[in-house]
Amino acid sequence: MAEDLFEPVETSSATMAKAEYSARDIEVLEGLEPVRHRPGMYIGGTDIQAMHHLVAEILDNSMDEAVAGYANHIDVTMNADGTVTITDNGRGIPIDEHPKYPGTSALEVILTTLHSGGKFGGGAYKVSGGLHGVGLSVVNALAERLTVEVARDKKLYRQEYARGKPLTKLEFVANCPNRRGTSITFKPDAEIFEGNNTFIPNRIYRMARSKAFLFKGVKINWNCAPELIAEGDTTPLSDELNFPNGVADFLNLQLGERGTINRTAFTGEQEMANNEGRVEWAITWPIDENGFSYSYCNTVLTPAGGTHETGFRSALLRGLKEYGDMAGYKKITNATAEDFLSDACLMLSVFITDPQFQGQTKDKLTSTKAIKLVETAVKDSFDHWLSSDVENAKALIEYVIDRAEARKKKKEEKAQARKSPTKRLRLPGKLADCSQAAAEDTEIFIVEGDSAGGSAKQGRDRVTQAILPLRGKILNVASASVERIGQNQEIKDMIEALGCGVKDDYKEDNLRYEKIIIMTDADVDGAHITSLLMTFFYQHMPKLIENGHLYIATPPLYKIVAGGKNYYALDDEEKDKILAKVTKGNTKPDISRFKGLGEMSPTQLKETTMDKNNRILLRVMIPNTSTDEGRAEDFETRRQVERLMGKDPEQRFKFIIERAKFVDNLDI
């Protein structure tokens, strides 16, 4: 069928190609407008990191073909003209007529329609996690130019696109008796990516290398035009990436020269029962207790972990306790997963069919079957590993027992220190402290303005929630001198209330609260204050952010009363959604706009913004710098923040908020 539909065509003009389109195709063409209108919703932002997700998306599609057993070779090439080409020897994207869109090829539907990337029911392992899995159409929409070539049934076809729209028909190019697969070449649209559409070779190289580590069945050929490699950049010009030892090799690379508690890493792989999937792992315990945890599902990173990690942890903790009991280490019963695994270096990779993910950024695996599958697959192997080397097991058990005892002691000391009046730090007068002594589970709300502070004080949970009201805008630390920062009352109050010290004096153990929550009005001034505070923490207490303590509250902007019920909306979009839902019959909903936190009653503030069960908190994050990937990201972040610092805090705020990896939806 393909042959008669797609006879060789010579057209290459956009207008000509479009003129030949029939009305029913318009729907397809319009399908990508939302992507160009709000790119952030599809790829998590419009910064350089988001731009690199486009490459990840294409690469993931080729990896899908490899993992499903249809391809074993992928070429990743960075061309001198700034385009990237990804070629695989898989089945090739189908080019026959799409059943739902007569006259249009499946290829064109896949490239021009949202959520059409599905494998039409086929495919063993389908990637759909992370920010990826959004589909080739999203990449196409955000590409200034995209060329796709498909070699299928011994024929080579080509089609060109610009910003999601076909420039040509699908053209027959040549017979190709020895070739099969898909090749996509594209360049991101500078209009979308803040004027910068230059890829960073090292990022793409590492991306390709990670994929090769995660799937032994693929050979990835890397090539980069020499003019793209900056001076001092050690990224190779070409490389053949294939790692028969998989994640074990990956772990060694990430670990570098660091010493470990155990003699050998615990590594292995296991097919799961009934062809339900496969798991591969490598874990070791570094002496410096500076661990990392990288987990993947179908070669896609799951930064927030999930069920595969749960299964893995459970197998290891159970295994260690059983072995410890048997070998006479009584104290091992008190050990927690935290003691055993929180500072280990772990690479965990699972392959399962039809994986499910959770969250706005889909970075957590939620398929329940992964727990049991991984647990069962790993447990026997771990038992064997422990009993096969007594010295090794002993070293590990002693390490875990030490850590369990240290944790217990620290907890006791901390509770003591907070209670003892002599040790009690000078606290700012404006602070309404919580009554609980231990920092665990406590929160401090840094609130914009005295009146909002008053509502917050009344609406809080006195046991675990403290309130520190700030008067107006805080000093812009980015542009202020050290003396001025030291004299600023609002900043002094914050430092005293937190108790942990600043810069090199920062002591995590002295931090008086588990969560530091910035709560400002849902307007531009509020955003400004939030950005000033974030800059303060970023520059003076970066560890506080790195360790996951900094959060942003999300107070609502609207209250809608309809049918005797109250609804709250965070923004206009949510308001419209609620209105669409509740506007039934003839009663008109009553909409009011909060001018600020101070306008809300304590009960309203509690219900919408402070209550642990109802609120949405955004967690501010800095990439984990213990890995190559994280270091590269962190480097970019610092560069960007420095660039934006001082002059335009709104832009900086927008920048930080947009960074998908920074923001986590919690407590929903």
Active-site residues, by number, are 448, 521, 523, 525
Note whether 461 and 436 are within 8 A (CB): no
Cβ-based nearer residue to ligand 0RA, 222 or 445: 222
Tell me how far, at minimum, the Cβ of 237 lies from ligand 0RA, in Å. 24
Q: Which of 637, 660, 642 is nearest to 50 (CA)?
A: 660
Q: Does 108 bind ligand 0RA (CB under 6 A)?
A: no
Work out the angle between the directed axes of helices 369-388 and 390-419 (0-180°, nearest 10). 120
User: What does the alpha-carbon distance between residue 522 and residue 593 come to, in Å, rounded to a whole number?
Assistant: 10
Q: Does 49 bind ligand 0RA (CB under 6 A)?
A: no
Piece of the chain touching ligand 0RA by CB under 6 A; list 115-123, 401-409, 413-421, 596-604: 115-123
Tell me how far, at minimum, the Cβ of 469 lies from ligand 0RA, in Å. 54
Q: Measuring CA to CA, how many Å separate 356 from each of 129, 297, 353, 361, 542?
A: 8, 10, 9, 13, 34
Tell me how far, at minimum, the Cβ of 55 lies from ligand 0RA, in Å. 12
Tell me how far, at minimum, the Cβ of 667 lies from ligand 0RA, in Å. 37
Q: Does 149 bind ligand 0RA (CB under 6 A)?
A: no
Tell me how far, at minimum, the Cβ of 114 lies from ligand 0RA, in Å. 15
User: What does the alpha-carbon distance between residue 136 and residue 141 come to, in Å, rounded to a whole number?
Assistant: 9
Q: Which of 40, 82, 94, 291 binds ligand 0RA (CB under 6 A)?
A: 94
Q: Does 291 bind ligand 0RA (CB under 6 A)?
A: no
Q: Which of 2, 42, 50, 62 binds ligand 0RA (CB under 6 A)?
A: 62
The set of residues, in sequence order, having a beta carbon less than 8 Å from that of 292 and lying 6+ positions away, is 254, 345, 346, 624, 626, 627
The set of residues, in sequence order, having a beta carbon less than 8 Å from that of 637 and lying 6+ positions away, is 622, 623, 659
Q: Does 61 bind ligand 0RA (CB under 6 A)?
A: yes
Q: Does 309 bind ligand 0RA (CB under 6 A)?
A: no
Piece of the chain touching ligand 0RA by CB under 6 A; list 57-65, 303-311, 382-390, 395-403: 57-65
Piece of the chain touching ligand 0RA by CB under 6 A; list 91-99, 480-488, 570-578, 581-589: 91-99
H-helix or E-strand containing 529? helix 524-540
How many residues in the shown chain lie near ligand 0RA by CB under 6 A?
A: 12
H-helix or E-strand containing 46? none
Q: Does 88 bind ligand 0RA (CB under 6 A)?
A: yes
Tokens, residue 329: 């280490």
Q: Does 160 bind ligand 0RA (CB under 6 A)?
A: no
Q: Do β-strands 277-284 and 292-297 pair in parallel, antiparallel, or remain unpaired?
A: unpaired
Q: Does 180 bind ligand 0RA (CB under 6 A)?
A: no
The set of residues, in sequence order, having a beta carbon less than 8 Å from that of 118 and lying 6+ positions away, is 126
Q: Measuring CA to CA, how many Å separate 649 from each of 46, 151, 200, 502, 529?
A: 18, 50, 26, 22, 9
Q: Does 241 bind ligand 0RA (CB under 6 A)?
A: no
118-147: contacts with ligand 0RA (CB under 6 A): 119-120, 122
* Site track 65-84 with ligand 0RA (rule: CB under 6 A), x = hit: x-------------------
Tell me how far, at minimum, the Cβ of 86 lies from ligand 0RA, in Å. 7
Tell me the sheet residues that pair with 238.
223
User: What does the alpha-carbon distance between residue 649 and residue 646 come to, in Å, rounded to a whole number?
Assistant: 7
Tokens, residue 231: 């001076």
Q: Does 182 bind ligand 0RA (CB under 6 A)?
A: yes
Note whether 464 and 444 are within 8 A (CB): no
- Residue with the shortest CB distance to ligand 0RA: 61
Tokens, residue 444: 């401090």
Q: Which of 52, 53, 91, 362 binds ligand 0RA (CB under 6 A)?
A: 91
Q: Does 493 bind ligand 0RA (CB under 6 A)?
A: no
Interaction site with ligand 0RA (CB under 6 A):
61-62, 65, 88, 90-91, 93-94, 119-120, 122, 182
